[in-house]
Each structure stands twice: as C-alpha cells, then as structure tokens.
Structure 1
Amino acid sequence: MTAVAPAQPAAAAAPGTAPFFAVRDIHAYYGESYIVQGVSLEVHHGEILALLGRNGAGKTSTLRTIARVDNPVLRAGEIWLDGKPLHRMKAFEASRAGIQLVPEDRRIIQGLTVEENLTLAQVSPGQGWDLERIYSHFPRLAERRRQEGVTLSGGEQQMLAIARALARDIKLLLLDEPYEGLAPVIVQEIERILNEIKAQGITTIIVEQNAIAALRLADRAVILDTGEVAFTGAAADVLADQDLRKQYLAV
C-alpha cells in the first residue's frame, strides 16, 4: 500500500509576506461537542482548495467556523483574510470583509425573482459583480431573471446562490456541497461555472462529497478526519493516490 502522506504545512508565502487566507489551530464546538480540533490551513490568492473527508469529518463545521456563523462556536485559534482578523468578527462583519458562504441549502429568498435576489445581494454597489457580468457567466439566470428564485430547478438555484455571492464584495468564496443532489449533466454545468470563476482569480474553498470532481477543480487539498487535518498537499497527488483516497475518502 502506498504510504499516506502526513499533514504538512501549506506552502510558505514569500519571505516577509503573509498568506492571503490562513486558519491557525482553530477549535470549535457545538455546545460541548468538540467538532473542529486544531485545524490549520492556508489558501493563496486565486487558489482553489478542496476541503475533503468522510461524512462527519468536520468539513462543513470548519467552513461555518471560517464564515463566523453562530454555530459552531470558535473557542480558540485565529482566522486571517488579507490581513484582517476574522476570528474577532461576527458573521455580518466577516461578510463585509469579503467572506461569502454558499451553504448547502442555498437559502434563496422566497417571493423574490432571480434578479431581485441578485440586486438585494449588492449591498455595496460597485464592489461585487454587476448584473451584466453575472448574466454573462450565468446565461440560464439571464433567461430566468423574472422568475421567482425558489421555483428554479435545484441546479439553477445553486447557480443563483453562487451568483448572489459574487454580487457582493468578495475576497473568499466558500462552497458547501455545490453538487449535492444534482444530476450529472447539471454538475457539469456547475463545474463549467466554477472553472470560469477560477479563471477570474477568485480564491475559493470547496467542501464536496464528490471528491473526484472537487479535486479536478482544485489546486490543493486538505483532508479532515474526525475534526483534524490528516493530509495537506496537491490535489493532483490525491487524485493519483488511490490508497489515500480509500483510506480517507472511500473513493
């Protein structure tokens, strides 16, 4: 069996510079349940990181901790985005600092059209993508701009949720299970959009049970196992190491 690489520190930034995004030894809890157990990771500007692991490994909890939502509760550690201390912020402050989370349930606002959902997201005019730019990358949304958002198909709602994040002042995009429940042909469409976003240089962390799809998209990967980092390395290395994937991802 191929030896499993231990967790290693992310590639160092240039001397005298800090990484664009860094998580330093964070510990988070749901009540008294210890969920995120000393996770550290780095993401460089314009990079895509796949955050992987089996069900219950702590992936979504880590993503929610980064976004500074109410649960889980961060009890120790630091989170830095472009020099700003997110660990000292509430969720709305982290959002204003540039963190945009696309949750698994998408949270499309009932009663609003596609375009109204997007317009409402543009709380800082001129900071995020404007409608013209969004529609150029999401032609399906352009076709359905007058349709109520919650009546879209699952894949179209996922597109709307991603587009809504881009409409805000974004520095780091957090994607939680973007392919969940979607037909393969729609997954391919979402992959196309995410590759276009990658080409735009948007820094991204993706949590996804479809590990192979996430690894094809990502530059690097971090694998969690019961709340701890088990592996850090190039996404291509994980794709090439079947034994590593079987041990931690069951794929």
Structure 2
Amino acid sequence: MNAMTMPDSSSATAAPAYFSVRDIHAYYGESYIVQGVSFDVAEGDVVALLGRNGAGKTSTLRTLARAADPELKRGEIWLNGQAIHKLKDFQAARHGIQLVQEDRRIIPGLTVEENLQLARIAEPKGWPLEQIYEHFPRLAERRKQEGVTLSGGEQQMLAVARALARDIKLLLLDEPYEGLAPVIVKEIERIVHEIKGRGITTIIVEQNAVAALELANRALILDMGQIAFDGPANAVLENAELRTQYLAI
C-alpha cells in the first residue's frame, strides 16, 4: 500500500504557506535523525505529528524550534515569511515559535505567577494574566504556589500557559499527555481545544495517537526520519491498515 499523500507544490502562483518546512536534515552528532522532511502548514491548522518510537518526532519538533540539538545541517524553515532556519532557539521564540517540552522546564524557586510574569517580561505581547487565569482556573487557584511543587498535570498547564504568555504564532507540543491521569488528560485536551478555537497554529507530538488525531485536522506520520504520510487526520483514523503499518494501533 502506498500511504503517502503529499501536497501539490507544482503551482508557481500558489501563496506561500504560513509555516513551511523545506527538506530539513538534522543530526545528533553523527546520528542522522531527520532525513529530508518537508511540509506546509496553513495558519490555524492543528497538525498531529505521529510515528512509532524512534521515528524522529521529538527531534523534528526540536529542529523546528531551533533547539541546539539536533543540529540542522541543511534545509529551510519559514514562519509567516520569516526565515527561522537561520536563528537560534531564543530568536525563534521571539518570532513566535513556542515549544512546550515533555519535561516542562518549570523554573524552580518561582511561583506560578512569577513563571508567567517572567515569560511576559520577555515577550509582553502574549496573553495577559487575566486571560490566562480565565482559561486555566487551576493555575489561578495556585498562583502563589511554587511551580515545581504542582502536580504533573498542573505543571503541564503551566508550561502551556507560559507559552501563551509570550507572543505566540506557532505552538509546538511535545507529549502533552505523557504520564498524566485520565482526568487531567481531559483537562489538557479542553485547553488545547480552546487554543485550537482561537486559531493558534499548533503541531502536536503525542504517543496517544487517537487523541491527537481527534484534535487535529492534519496528520503527518514519520517513519525513520522521513514523512511517510501527509493528509487529513480523519484519513488516518479511518484507515486501520495505515495505523497498523506506521503507528502499531
């Protein structure tokens, strides 16, 4: 079965995509991890980036955010007409790319509110605290509590809220449901649905592929560092053979 569905890039008159990834190749030392990945994302899309363990999902996400590793050795990344591939991670963040990593990176010694205020100092054009607390009532209740003492699910909420406190154009979520109780997963899903409703372009890496696909309108499946499928999320949900071949579900 040929599962690959790729966008038509033949038209010279087509408008450039809001977020465009062109033939990126990235390495951890000598290990060739991301092997020529290309795709386009329209503004407001929610994309599920899926694949088996070791397929290169997190590495691709980190490359898009311009993290120090893996090292991008070839290819281009464009966001709203801006060349991101030439930037470092903090510069990409200033251009609106916000990565919420699996380990959350909550700053020790700071309260919930101080974590959020620090994000807003760096990028004051993001969501104000009142708006954040409206959408994250658990954080409002715990605003004076040290961030690292929150539960895992609450820390995930804080990590997402901190991204929204900055000037956000593209949200990258790495395993947002990992290790969370089902009731907290539902709360995180609610928050991500609200983000989707506000038209924030999002790429989500998640081992719970069904949950990610039900949230997304697009799906990208990686296999051995390359795109194996690019198409509608519901096409993956409806195709058992495709899910078995690439996702083992």
How high is the TM-score relative to the length of structure 2?
0.97
CA deviation vs aligned residue, 1:103-136 (integer Å, no higher than 9, x gap):
0000000010000000000135641000000001
- 1:107 aligned residue: 105
CA deviation vs aligned residue, 1:7-39 (integer Å, no higher than 9, x gap):
412789994421000100000000010000000
SS at match of 2:121: coil
Q: Distance in 2 between matches of 1:143 and 1:56?
A: 38
RMSD of aligned C-alpha atoms?
1.5
* Deviates most, 15-24 or 111-120: 15-24
SS at match of 1:87: coil
Match for 1:227: what amino acid? Answer: G
SS at match of 1:107: coil
- 2:89 aligned residue: 91
CA deviation vs aligned residue, 1:35-58 (integer Å, no higher than 9, x gap):
000001111101100000000000
Instruction: Check the 8 A contact 1:118/1:164 in 2, yes or no.
Output: yes
User: In the alignment, does 2:144 pair up with 1:146?
Assistant: yes
CA drift of 1:74 comes to 0.3
- 2:47 aligned residue: 49
- Structure 2: gaps spanning 5 or more residues: none
Percent of pairs with identical residues: 69
User: In the alignment, does 2:175 pair up with 1:155?
Assistant: no
Instruction: Check the 8 A contact 2:47/2:203 in 1, yes or no.
Output: yes
CA drift of 1:184 comes to 1.0
CA deviation vs aligned residue, 1:160-205 (integer Å, no higher than 9, x gap):
0000000001000000000000011111110000000000110000
Q: Distance in 1 between matches of 2:237 and 2:10?
A: 23
Q: Distance in 2 between matches of 1:97 and 1:6?
A: 32
Q: Distance in 2 between matches of 1:170 and 1:77?
A: 23
- 1:195 aligned residue: 193
Question: How many residues were matched structurally?
Answer: 249
Q: Distance in 2 between matches of 1:60 and 1:216?
A: 20
Structure 1 pair 13–207 and aligned structure 2 pair: CA distance change class (3 A) = farther
